Structure 1
Amino acid sequence: MKRNRAGAKRVGAAGAGARGPGPSLQEALAVLGEGCSLLVTGDVPTDAHRVAAARYFGNPSNERRRVLGLTHDTPRPDAWLPGAVNGEDDHAEIVCMDDALRDPAAVDESPAGDGGFSPGVDDSFRRRFLEAIVDVGDEEGPDGMALRVGLFRVDGLRAALGAEDAGRLLRDAATTTRERGGMAHFHLPRRPAEEGDPRSDSTVDAVATQLGEQLDVVVELRLRDRAVVPEERWHIDGWGSTDWHPLG
């Protein structure tokens, strides 16, 4: 069921922190608890996104159903899942994209650069990722945000599939997750052009626009000097922006 967002601010837009007589944060979070999608961005290294992803996949002591999509090679895919949870668990699945390989000659020195992805083709990734969401999401288990779906990283998906096909896949994944009352978090490391406005980056804005009504929150990540853990700030559709909080 689509929610009425008439008059709502653009998710993650500048000025979103100015809040009027709208819903309280508790009420806004309660709506998200019915099913939601997050676009996670910020000028931070991969490890910060890994910490955030493990957090959004939920406490390992809670019964969850988890699907992780990876568009790049990584020596430890299970590190994106919380605690001792791994891809061999009955209620977890990791879907990796074939042929979306990192090109060392194209690596951007910026933590939030394009990641040096070479264009690749994996015609099966869309099918495998969406099927995993359906298969894992339809397993018997607790209701209420029990399904968690994550994808790292969106720019790798766009490099491999093209912007339009990648956007279509993200929308379908978000819709499929929401229909099952779950949370989807899509990671797109980028540096905002304007402080406090993650959508000031053209790629973040393009992906957010493609997600449309399926996007509920743009999450900013940052890692301050000498900080032990990254911090997050949520820009919630129809509500505004939270303060910065550690992902610990």
Structure 2
Amino acid sequence: MSKVELRNERGDGPPDDSLARFQSKLRQLKSEGCNLLVVGDAPREVFTRASASMLGDPDARRWRVFALTDASPESVYDRLPAASAAPRPLSETTKIVNHALPPRPIADLADTPASSVPEVSVGDANLTGLRTELGEAMREFCSQSYRPAEVRVTVDSLAPLLDHYEFDVVRRFLRAVGERVYDCDAMAHYVLPRSYDSEWCRRLRPEFDAVVELRTAPEDPAPEESSHDETDQSNTGTRSHYAEERWHLPQSDTTMPWIPL
């Protein structure tokens, strides 16, 4: 999860009460488990970068679960820590549940750390298989976790599910997976490459603890303006877009300012 740099409107003083409350809410979400919807009009590379940050520091103990529908195998590799930085082998701390059609196995990335990650392919009519495999992966990692937020989950993306299944089927899937996330004190984020004002986003917002909106911006910030404590760990080492994020808390109808991603 991002470390949001909280400043007053002038940008040079302590946070005001509303920003302080927001920071407190973020700490609560991280300690109790949370489900985040990640949306926006942005290139997929920006979503990959945001997802890498939400999946955690490369040198911290994390268990990562990927549920893939239309994300590329390369984007998964870009979100994984380098083998030299990870405290344990990726084959022990990462699982992939592949729901892509046609299947695009991560194992095809030969001679990369991603090729050693356990992967299971599922295809079912009502998302039961995907939900079950995700729950099993979380249950296994939760039994090895000692602190909140050590288990990280991503579903990338929701768009094919919403295209191919009835909305109520997708909503039941999200609620079932979300409950397992809370049971494990885990952190999950669900990618939806659609605008914040889109119909899908409007209908899905109430199902999530927060909505993280992404956008590209015209200019790079000064280096000191970076605000993430769990930074993008893209193995490509490149950032082709300067991007920003802002957080929405649907339950309190709160929207925070844009900050650098």
TM-score (norm. length: structure 1): 0.71
Shift of 1:130: 2.3
Match status 1:218 vs 2:231: no
Map 1:1-248; keep pairs closer than 5 Å.
Answer: 24-33=21-30, 34-72=32-70, 74-79=72-77, 81-84=79-82, 88-99=90-101, 122-123=124-125, 124-136=129-141, 138-191=142-195, 198=196, 200-209=197-206, 211=207, 215-227=208-220, 228-236=241-249, 237-238=251-252, 240-247=254-261
SS in 1 for 2:41: coil
Distance 1:183 1:75, change over 3 A: closer
Query: Are 1:53 and 1:80, in contact at CA under 8 Å, matched by a contact in 2?
Result: no
Shift of 1:58: 0.5
Query: Are 1:100 and 1:121, in contact at CA under 8 Å, matched by a contact in 2?
Result: no
Q: Which sections of structure 2, spanning at least 5 residues, go unmatched? A: 1-15, 105-121, 221-240
Q: Which sections of structure 1, spanning at least 5 residues, go unmatched? A: 1-18, 103-119, 192-197
TM-score (norm. length: structure 2): 0.68
The aligned counterpart of 2:230 is: none
How many percent identity over aligned positions?
28
Q: Counting helix residues as a fraction of each chain, which structure ranks higher?
A: 2
SS in 2 for 1:89: helix
Two-structure CA RMSD over aligned residues (Å): 2.8
The CA distance in 2 between the partners of 1:91 and 1:121, in whole Å, is 24
Q: How many residues align?
A: 200
